Amino acid sequence: MDKQKRIVVTGAGGFIGHHLVKRLKKDGHWVRGADIKYPEYEASAADQFEILDLRKYENCLLATRGGIDEVYNLAADMGGIGYITANHADISRNNILINAQMLEASRQNGVPRFLFSSSACVYNQAKQKDPDVKPLREEDAYPADPEPGYGWEKLFAEELCHYYYKDFGFETRIVRFHNVYGPLGTYDGGKEKAPAAISRKVALAADGGEIEVWGDGEQTRSFMYVDDCVEGLIRLMASDYRDALNLGTDELVTINELVDMVARVAGKRIRKRHNLTGPQGVRGRNSDNTRLREVLGWEPSIRLEQGLAITYPWIASQVAPQRVAEMVDAV
């Protein structure tokens, strides 16, 4: 290992941030976690964990105090497609405040390097209208027509990172996440992503039962297991690459195929009931990893069914009490 670093992870109470803290501690670094909430499913491994509302500048200064070497800014108001399509104003305001003020506080406190977590939601919607979508290259974000709200604020924050380097020489890294999943992630309440939502529904369904699928199920996505995500974050932070970089897999599947995979892992026969009025986002989205391989000499390697084989049992164990209660009620 290189010398021990002092590292801040914002959003450390969330899914990716929690896994990143565990990995950084395993690698021997000193870590401060900052978030508006504690991790939901297990205690944080951070040396310090501070409850801070990072929409307030004074809290961003607190989070980055004390000779910090690196900031991973993962804090964000976000969720699945249902949540981000219903809360444009709140999401945009909250995230613009967090991102702008974390950048400035990190610079003011002399942090040498800052990583911003962007999203595949920045990509031009016109290039995502076909389920058999062409993999999205980083330059496909322009001309700009991102997802309303969440996509626009992420794209603006990417530009803000570029401005901070051009104007102040402040070293920034920009990662565009493509649908991260895994254990210890949100699986209910409206903020969960598709793999977690489908895993929950399958876990609660009887063998031979039926689950609701938003849309016709032919919309396509690629999904990245959280361990690959964390590895990519650490590699990008250590690199000299300052432009936005995709971080995802290029294993494109339909949502119907995702349901079938989860059902296989669960050992259940599942029927699909398609809700054509449910939110489903763009018709197709996939990651072009050409630049990722060029820059990092690496790309995610965990196949979707491999990751689901770990994720589904964890979610099933979480919802087991609810499943038992429903079975008792049905008697």
Q: Do the Cβ atoms of 92 and 153 come closer than 8 Å? A: yes
CA distance 65 to 221: 39
CA distance 261 to 195: 10
**Which residue, among 245, 214, 18, 25, has the nearest Cα to 117 in the 3D structure?**
245
CA distance 202 to 211: 7
Catalytic option among 72, 83, 123, 150? 150
Q: How is 225-266 classified by DSSP, letter by letter?
A: EHHHHHHHHHHHHHS---SEEEES----EEHHHHHHHHHHHH
Report the greatest alpha carbon distance in the chain.
68
Tokens of 294: 């060029």
Q: Any catalytic annotation for residue 150? A: yes
Amino acid at 225: Y
Q: Supply the residues annotated as catalytic.
A: 150
